[in-house]
Amino acid sequence: MLIGGEIGEGKGGKSIEVKNPATAEIVDSIPRGTTADVDAAVEAARKALPAWSALPGTKRAQLMHAAAEKMKAAVPEIAKLLSQEQGKPLAHAVLEASRVAENLEYYAGLADKIRGDYVPLDDPAKFGLTIRRPVGVVAAITPWNFPLTLMANKICPALAAGCTVVLKPASTTPLATQRAIEVINSAGFPAGVLNTVHGSGAEIGDALVSHKLVNKIAFTGQTETGKRIMKLASDNVTRVTLELGGSDPMIVCDDADIRRATAAAAIGRFFNAGQACLAVKRVYVFQGVADEFMTKVADRASKEWKVGNGLAEGVKMGPLHSESQRAEVEGQVAEAVTRGAKVLAGNKRPEGKDFEKGWFMEATVLTDVPEDSRMATEEVFGPAMPIFIVNDLDEAIEKANRSVYGLGSSIWTRDLAKARRAVELIDAGYTWVNDIQVAYDQLPFGGAKQSGFGKEHGLEALEGYMEKKSVVLATG
Ligand code: NAD
């Protein structure tokens, strides 16, 4: 834990063992926090707030740039930890750790550009101003699928805005995050600006969310957890940003570039073993190209997505993060198959000595999946892709919008009119046209419907860590 500038063991004297999902071996352990640690961390963040928020933006930017340099140097060490605790291939962990430095740099560039407005009023003896103030102490709560990226998405705009932070990572992936925070903090942030507490959502998460001195909750995780957080936050009217689950539709029209579309579908579904919020979770393909699309995507699933230990050479897909996660995805696939779905690839565990202890699953592709099945209606957080055949764009959009979620989406077509219709009519926070679902620092990212609200990335994320205040100045 990091509380008030001190790396410590916390007040409970207990620890959390972190296991490698590929081998079930213990990677390391980390101190388990208590509610007393939550109090101490929030109080440290509150104490640090006045001086940190009063620091000129250029100074905050300098510290963030220095932290980015330190983070770049630490990428090999932190990426290895991330691969071991999360399960993802090392190369992907390197990309993720590198993104933290990029995110720091992006928001460092904005820290000294925060400003307000001059507003003329009806009365000539007065004028108005708007100023932006940091929202205060931020509780940042992150999941296990992209621990570093989702941590950076919160702490970087918060720091740039002049907020202080208490971070609680998922209890199964605290190691890389803790190390990254220590590295960032070593750039010279004042004590209490950045704090971490580790532990379960039920104990530490709840205590943080309910804390009277927390001004904003920045949460990424399951929709059900988000609903609980909204309820708890209402007691103190604490601000919330909720980045929740998704079930992104991908529409493939009959004029699409099928080679590129199948590559994007496979990356969109199998990257991070399918454990991504932005991921191709339902494919709606036009009848005329369905056979070609299904053959090619199934071929990619079986040949291109080598499963294995994330630290092994050439592996593209690690294990699922936990036994329960694999059981959940296998259960969703089994229900579809029992009800008549046809398996085009996968739907089994890889065999052999290397796979005995980990939570591995092969890249799976299905068609003829019932439209009221779990795979169609729930979030599938693993490497299983259902393909549905549609007759036209209206049908595809209508089915895409049936989900309670509205995070990402994509359409593949050479017809600009079709692309425009999809962009305007799909209920989602993001639509990619002829491109893989990759989020950009520059573009706001966030969900519609039960995928949450509030934005990460872009100028919009920075706005989420500030409050606009109106001022009237009487000059008469
Ligand atoms: P989760 O909701 O179980 O846990 C997320 C975090 O919340 C963890 O740190 C957990 O300890 C904490 N938590 C749990 N209960 C809590 C409570 N009562 N109060 C406060 N904190 C609590 O989510 P997960 O299983 O770790 O992550 C997977 C989910 O996250 C998926 O649904 C995925 O789609 C979603 N996700 C969304 C985005 C996005 O940006 N929209 C990004 C990544 C993941």
pLDDT (tens digit, 9 = 90+) per residue, 198-243?
A: 999 999 999 999 999 999 999 999 999 999 999 999 999 999 999 9
466 alpha carbon, distance to own chain's centre: 21
How remote is the C-alpha of 63 from its chain's centroid? Answer: 25
Per-residue pLDDT, 383: 98
Residue corresponding to tokens 């299904």? 294
Any idea which residues carry the catalytic annotation? 243, 277
Model confidence at 11: pLDDT above 90: no
The confidence band for 476, taking pLDDT boundaries of 50, 70 and 90, is confident
The answer to whether 163 touches 243, Cβ cutoff 8 Å, is no
Nearest CA to ligand 1 atom 35: 221
Position 268: which residue type?
G
92 token code pair? 């992907």
Q: Which helix (H) or strand (E) holds 221?
A: none
DSSP 372-433: TSHHHHS---SSEEEEEEESSHHHHHHHHTTSSEES--EEE-S-HHHHHHHHHHS-SS--EE
pLDDT averaged over every residue in the chain: 97
pLDDT digits (tens, 9 = 90+) for 78-98: 999 999 999 999 999 999 999
Tens of pLDDT along 128-168? Answer: 999 999 999 999 999 999 999 999 999 999 999 999 999 99
pLDDT reported for residue 84? 98
Q: What whole-number percentage of the chain has pLDDT above 90? A: 99
Task: Report residue 126 as tokens.
Answer: 């007065």
Residues in the ligand 1 pocket, defined by CB under 6 Å: 141-146, 150, 168-171, 200-202, 205-206, 209, 220-222, 225, 228-229, 243-246, 277, 379, 381, 407, 447, 451-452
Strand partners, 366: 343, 386
Note the maximum CA span of the chain. Answer: 84
Tally of CB atoms within 10 A around 358: 25
**Nearest protein CA to atom 41 of ligand 1, as residue:** 243
Mean pLDDT computed over 307-321:
97
Residue 327 in tokens: 């059981």
Question: What gap in Å lies between CA 240 and CA 464, rounded to an integer?
Answer: 9
Reply yes or no on whether the pLDDT at 178 is more than 90: yes
pLDDT tens digit string along 400-417? 999 999 999 999 999 999
Each residue of 369-407: pLDDT tens digit? 999 999 999 999 999 999 999 999 999 999 999 999 999
Amino acid at 425: L
| Minimum-distance ligand 1 atom for the alpha carbon of 200 | 11
Around 38, how many Cα atoms within 13 Å sit in the side-chain half-sphere? 24
What's the chain's length in residues?
476
Nearest to 110 by CA among 177, 141, 64, 179: 64
Q: Choose the weakest-confidence range: 5-14, 179-188, 284-293.
A: 5-14
Kindly give the number of the ligand 1 atom that is closest to the alpha carbon of 221.
Answer: 30
- Please name which of 414, 463, 6 lies closest in space to residue 197, comparing C-alpha atoms: 6
Pocket test for ligand 1, best of 141, 216, 232, 403 (most atoms within 8 A of CB): 141
